[in-house]
Structure 1
Amino acid sequence: MAPEEEVRDDDRPRTQGKIVRVTENNWIAVAICAGGLFINNYALTNVFPYMGPMVVHLGKVEHIDEAGYYVGFLGTAFMGARASSSFFWGVLSDRIGRKPIILLGCTSFIVFQIMLGFATTFEVVVAARLLMGFFNPLVGLCKTVVCEVVNDDNQTKALSYLTGWAAMGMVLGPTIGGWLSEPAEKFPNVAFASSELLKTFPYVLPNLFGSFVSTLMFLAVVFFLPETLVAEENSYAQVSQTSIDDSKDDDQLELELTNIRGTKVVASTEIEEGLINKQPSPERKPQTVKGSSIIKSICPLGRMYKILCDPRKRMAAFMYSYYSFTSSFYAEVNPLWYISTRESGGLNFTMANIGTIISISGVGLFLYNGFVFPLISHVLTPIRLIQLTLIALAVFYSMVPFLSVIEPQDFNLLNVKAHTWFYLLVQFSSMLQMILNNHEYIGINIIVNNSCFSNERGAMNGLVMTLGSVFKAIGPLGAAAFAWSVGSRNSFPFDYHFGFFVLSILCVALLLYSKHLPLSLNEKRI
């Protein structure tokens, strides 16, 4: 093959050697991974409408007003178990492959949603949610696989499809869960809905639907999803020669890697990254998966430390953790602001108003990611996308609380009442925030994938999932900050604006930090 010059970012030198490139974009694999995020979010959220009634039905409490304590267990069991196991599944996928671990996740959704639907005690429901979360590697691995089946130019577009279907799962989960639960009460005139089975197990239908969709996902993975871990067996990659640049000094060396099956990959980097010896490493024999290797994966602290010692991985993990905190912070502040009274600076919306706004925004995000964002995804590099989004979010968070100053008057514009115009304005602001947050999420996930080599990518995604869950747990501080600012009757900007101003400052701080990201994070390391 004739030599060709490889174009790299300014902080990555051109060197001689072989690199693995993705030359075909497997959009079928991307669609399957998008389905993985859909079934994950459906399983997470479909229980939300009926958690309280289920606690009463199972005899744990007599009245739904007393169910809050037990509902908390159901709400946290899934996410807590997933956070505890994400890194382990990621490491294991780097050893035995992505496909078997994804199949395990699909199987867990098939089995444990049925277990939840037919549960006769509250303890069985909690166990089903815990097991469903623990055996759930789908979010991290689906993002990993997408990175490995598309080229650099299409990573942004592919991840936009994933986040779009994830948003649809968040919307359809509560909707289907609400409609299909307790069918005997909702559809008394339908013979099947009034059957003895559905009276005994009134919450089985939404879980059977989730199990059915998970079965379809399982079959799609078996027949259509390629194994993406090993470069030499990946039909979407090829080996190309890079040019020789004799002008480079010893500080710019080649790193010879051998993955778990002996596939040799040559990548270039800088000596300051602390990853290279001056002598090339000898070719290693293909490794086999041993029991001791899997046991080491179960004790992840040393592996986590090793990953975070790499400055590029550490910076990418910090960006993801920071994003998780700010998104959770806003998710706590925004509904409280919606529902607060006008006197305290809120919008005085009802819970039905809030649910409608969030649902419409989720559908809007799905359509935006499917039809609009792919058209502009090639314009910006991941780092530039993050930076511009952070600027827009900083302005948005500082301006949006001023909506409460607007008092809709009794007038018509184009035969539409003022209250309707105001509601549309709030709806637009909600959708805008969701779209901007989606841009930040896509950009950060790309740099997470680009910060590591293929045989480390599962562990890296598992690590950031774990760290993200920890930082999301700190996010409810936003609710405390909003409650303090409203309750203390402080003056501007320490009134109801305070929580939003904190978010704006956090965005500016992350923007300044992003200026130090190496430009090599715009490119995939394979």
Structure 2
Amino acid sequence: MSASTRTIQDDERTAFLQQDVTPLPRAQLSALSLLLLAENVMSLSIFSYINELVTKLPITGGDERKVGYYAGIIISLYFAGEATTILQWSRLSDSIGRKPVLLSGILGMVIATIFFGLSKTFWALAASRFLAGALKGNNGVADSMLAELTDESNIAQGISLMSLAWPVGIAIGPSIGGLLSRPHDHWPQRFSGTFWIQYPYFLPCAVTSAYAALSLLIASIFLKETLHRNKNARNTGSHIGGSNLSYTGDRESGIEGVSGVSVPREGDEQERESLRSLFTRPVILSISVSAVFVFLEISQESLLPLAYTTPIRYGGLGLDAGQMGMCLGVFGILNGPIQFWMFPRLVKLMGLRGLLLASISCFVPVFLLFPIIGRYARHAGNEDPMLWSFVLLHMLMVGGVDMAYGSIFIYTSSAAPRKNMLGATNGLAQTIVSVQRSVGPAIASSLFAFSLENEIMEGYGVFYGLTLCTFAAIWLASQLPREAWKSQEDLE
């Protein structure tokens, strides 16, 4: 890069930093976050007890090493259902608006979650999870709404606020699942009826569904539609009236490390383009990075409760559902402030690509700590203080991984060729991501069980394999520009 080019970039960065930061629409972002939190609480609540539930079903033949196969299938089917419909939901939101799609998605999840709690066979559980994923189309639509509520001066702050829905969901969802499962065993005087014996996991499903229904009611009142909010605004080539009709910037420089978050301009009479026009290099590369990252993330996400609840003699920690829920709850409490306070500051300090590469690199210690923790537990048991120091370090590294989500969102949204394709772009991204999320738990859990059964590298072979995959993800992410993509419309 020439000295003159660097000088131009430095001048552009200085000019951007001198601009006023648009105030965040906190009320709207809070209402949107409330819906995402409700979704996370419902979907994550099963993670603390899913392995225990599978163990109680008459499908493993009493072999605890096979639990991973069936637990992985149940978890994967949620994302498989999502993959089949999320693009259609996102494209529908480009026509009828974001709000009705978001609200209907939460309602669908409430219904499916109740069915899950009333399911008594493996196939009923699997069908309920698939239905939950298929009925909700929130991820791509929520991304589009976030992009429409922010501009290039406040997108990082908006992401940090929205990112709280994930760690808080981890703190609440698995805690509810672990604490309220099998209420007849824990509180026999209050839950003495035969219903609670026949449906020992209905209570956490009912509580999370009730919370989601309340969130749905609040959002239906306070959340405003964003799709056409700037339709008649005057186009200035930058943000307009505190909104984000379009973003401008250079691929190699930008405001606070978040340059050119390009949500391209919308023509009043321009027709939506076909999906074929989405396949540009920025879109393909951004989605590819997202897909590889999400495969690794969902793999560790499904392996963590599986490994922690596996008996110590097989290399796990031997935690029960309540302990697992408490463990994930503590992680959510620690991870929330980290995501909220650190993301915008780290983007400013490291740049968008720098933060993304650092976050993906955290997968290396995340996967390698699994065998370290397992070996130590075999030696010292699961009550040793040093063991829980390793567990705490493990959780902190997972929090570092989660920083990548905000960076990937900015890259994907800025890659949208045009404003009227924002929903389709995010929908396509979430479709690919959902496919990865649908195969990731099944692959990772099956490889975990296969490693245990065949004692591959002392039963930890899956973790070493995923460590190697991490280096491929780092290389792919390094092909992204230093900052967000510049809009195709801005280039025309």
| TM-score normalised according to structure 1 size | 0.68
Structure-1 residue corresponding to 2:236 = 240
* Distance in 2 between residues matched to 1:331 and 1:390, nearest whole Å: 14
Whichever residue aligns with residue 398 of structure 2, its letter is M
* Distance in 2 between residues matched to 1:112 and 1:488, nearest whole Å: 38
- After TM superposition, list the pairs within 5 Å mapping 1:135-174 onto structure 2: 135-174=135-174
Q: Determine if the alignment matches structure 1 residue 315 to structure 2 residue 315.
A: no
* Distance in 2 between residues matched to 1:162 and 1:384, nearest whole Å: 21
Compared with structure 1, are the counterparts of its residues 286 and 156 closer, same or farther at alpha carbon in structure 2 (3 Å cutoff)?
Answer: closer
Whether the aligned pair in 1 keeps the contact of 2:310 and 2:317 (CA below 8 Å) is yes
Structure-2 residue corresponding to 1:467 = 432
- After TM superposition, list the pairs within 5 Å mapping 1:387-406 onto structure 2: 387-390=357-360
**3-state SS of paired residue (1:351):** coil
Whichever residue aligns with residue 318 of structure 2, its letter is T
Q: Determine if the alignment matches structure 1 residue 96 to structure 2 residue 96.
A: yes
Post-superposition CA distance 1:218-239 (Å, at most 9, x none):
22322222211124259xx774
* Distance in 2 between residues matched to 1:501 and 1:223, nearest whole Å: 46
Structure-2 residue corresponding to 1:446 = 410
**3-state SS of paired residue (1:349):** coil
Whether the aligned pair in 1 keeps the contact of 2:339 and 2:403 (CA below 8 Å) is no
Post-superposition CA distance 1:284-320 (Å, at most 9, x none):
6477xxxxx9xxxxxxxx9554312x11111111110
Q: RMSD in angstroms over aligned alpha carbons?
A: 4.9
Compared with structure 1, are the counterparts of its residues 343 and 54 closer, same or farther at alpha carbon in structure 2 (3 Å cutoff)?
Answer: closer
Question: Among the aligned pairs, what percent are the same residue?
Answer: 20
Whether the aligned pair in 2 keeps the contact of 1:184 and 1:198 (CA below 8 Å) is yes
**3-state SS of paired residue (1:152):** coil
Compared with structure 1, are the counterparts of its residues 520 and 156 closer, same or farther at alpha carbon in structure 2 (3 Å cutoff)?
Answer: closer
Structure-2 residue corresponding to 1:351 = 319
Stretches of structure 2 that go unaligned for 5 or more consecutive residues are: 1-6, 13-19, 239-244, 252-265
Q: Determine if the alignment matches structure 1 residue 386 to structure 2 residue 330.
A: no
Post-superposition CA distance 1:344-371 (Å, at most 9, x none):
9x6x633357766544323211232245
Compared with structure 1, are the counterparts of its residues 144 and 211 closer, same or farther at alpha carbon in structure 2 (3 Å cutoff)?
Answer: same
Report the CA distance between 1:102 and its aligned residue.
0.5
**3-state SS of paired residue (1:47):** helix
Q: Determine if the alignment matches structure 1 residue 521 to structure 2 residue 485.
A: yes
Report the CA distance between 1:178 and its aligned residue.
3.3
Compared with structure 1, are the counterparts of its residues 433 and 312 closer, same or farther at alpha carbon in structure 2 (3 Å cutoff)?
Answer: same
Which of 425, 441, 445 pairs up with 2:389?
425
Report the CA distance between 1:103 and its aligned residue.
1.2
Report the CA distance between 1:334 and its aligned residue.
6.2
Compared with structure 1, are the counterparts of its residues 23 and 38 closer, same or farther at alpha carbon in structure 2 (3 Å cutoff)?
Answer: same
Structure-2 residue corresponding to 1:105 = 105
Compared with structure 1, are the counterparts of its residues 399 and 65 closer, same or farther at alpha carbon in structure 2 (3 Å cutoff)?
Answer: closer
**3-state SS of paired residue (2:478):** helix
Tell me which protein shows more helix as a share of its residues.
2
Structure-1 residue corresponding to 2:211 = 213
Structure-2 residue corresponding to 1:368 = 338
Whether the aligned pair in 2 keeps the contact of 1:400 and 1:429 (CA below 8 Å) is no
Tell me which protein shows more strand as a share of its residues.
1
Stretches of structure 1 that go unaligned for 5 or more consecutive residues are: 1-7, 14-20, 243-263, 271-281, 288-292, 294-301, 411-417
Whether the aligned pair in 1 keeps the contact of 2:150 and 2:158 (CA below 8 Å) is yes
**3-state SS of paired residue (1:240):** coil
* Distance in 2 between residues matched to 1:343 and 1:457, nearest whole Å: 50
Report the CA distance between 1:450 and its aligned residue.
1.5
**3-state SS of paired residue (1:189):** coil
Whether the aligned pair in 2 keeps the contact of 1:184 and 1:199 (CA below 8 Å) is yes
Whether the aligned pair in 2 keeps the contact of 1:394 and 1:503 (CA below 8 Å) is no
* Distance in 1 between residues matched to 2:337 and 2:248, nearest whole Å: 38
* Distance in 1 between residues matched to 2:92 and 2:71, nearest whole Å: 32
**3-state SS of paired residue (1:513):** coil
Report the CA distance between 1:268 and its aligned residue.
9.3
Post-superposition CA distance 1:150-205 (Å, at most 9, x none):
22233233323333322332343232123333433321222xx2356655655443
Whether the aligned pair in 1 keeps the contact of 2:140 and 2:426 (CA below 8 Å) is yes
* Distance in 2 between residues matched to 1:405 and 1:476, nearest whole Å: 24
**3-state SS of paired residue (2:192):** coil
Report the CA distance between 1:443 and its aligned residue.
0.7
Post-superposition CA distance 1:466-495 (Å, at most 9, x none):
2123334157656677766994559xxx98
Whichever residue aligns with residue 150 of structure 2, its letter is V
Compared with structure 1, are the counterparts of its residues 510 and 480 closer, same or farther at alpha carbon in structure 2 (3 Å cutoff)?
Answer: farther
Pair member with larger Rg? 1
Compared with structure 1, are the counterparts of its residues 408 and 171 closer, same or farther at alpha carbon in structure 2 (3 Å cutoff)?
Answer: same
* Distance in 2 between residues matched to 1:339 and 1:224, nearest whole Å: 41
Report the CA distance between 1:116 and its aligned residue.
3.9
* Distance in 2 between residues matched to 1:51 and 1:397, nearest whole Å: 21
Compared with structure 1, are the counterparts of its residues 113 and 500 closer, same or farther at alpha carbon in structure 2 (3 Å cutoff)?
Answer: closer
Report the CA distance between 1:435 and its aligned residue.
2.0
Compared with structure 1, are the counterparts of its residues 487 and 324 closer, same or farther at alpha carbon in structure 2 (3 Å cutoff)?
Answer: same
**3-state SS of paired residue (2:226):** coil
* Distance in 1 between residues matched to 2:186 and 2:199, nearest whole Å: 14
* Distance in 1 between residues matched to 2:41 and 2:391, nearest whole Å: 23
Whether the aligned pair in 1 keeps the contact of 2:77 and 2:129 (CA below 8 Å) is yes
Whether the aligned pair in 1 keeps the contact of 2:40 and 2:173 (CA below 8 Å) is yes
* Distance in 2 between residues matched to 1:426 and 1:460, nearest whole Å: 40
Structure-2 residue corresponding to 1:261 = none
Whether the aligned pair in 1 keeps the contact of 2:88 and 2:427 (CA below 8 Å) is yes
Post-superposition CA distance 1:359-418 (Å, at most 9, x none):
4323211232245545555444423321343456557767986778989999xxxxxxx9
Q: Determine if the alignment matches structure 1 residue 499 to structure 2 residue 469.
A: no
* Distance in 1 between residues matched to 2:60 and 2:378, nearest whole Å: 39
**3-state SS of paired residue (2:465):** helix
Whether the aligned pair in 2 keeps the contact of 1:152 and 1:524 (CA below 8 Å) is no
Whether the aligned pair in 2 keeps the contact of 1:307 and 1:460 (CA below 8 Å) is yes
Compared with structure 1, are the counterparts of its residues 131 and 405 closer, same or farther at alpha carbon in structure 2 (3 Å cutoff)?
Answer: closer
Compared with structure 1, are the counterparts of its residues 266 and 429 closer, same or farther at alpha carbon in structure 2 (3 Å cutoff)?
Answer: closer
Compared with structure 1, are the counterparts of its residues 226 and 457 closer, same or farther at alpha carbon in structure 2 (3 Å cutoff)?
Answer: same
- After TM superposition, list the pairs within 5 Å mapping 1:186-197 onto structure 2: 186-190=186-190, 193-195=191-193
Post-superposition CA distance 1:422-441 (Å, at most 9, x none):
22431332123212211112
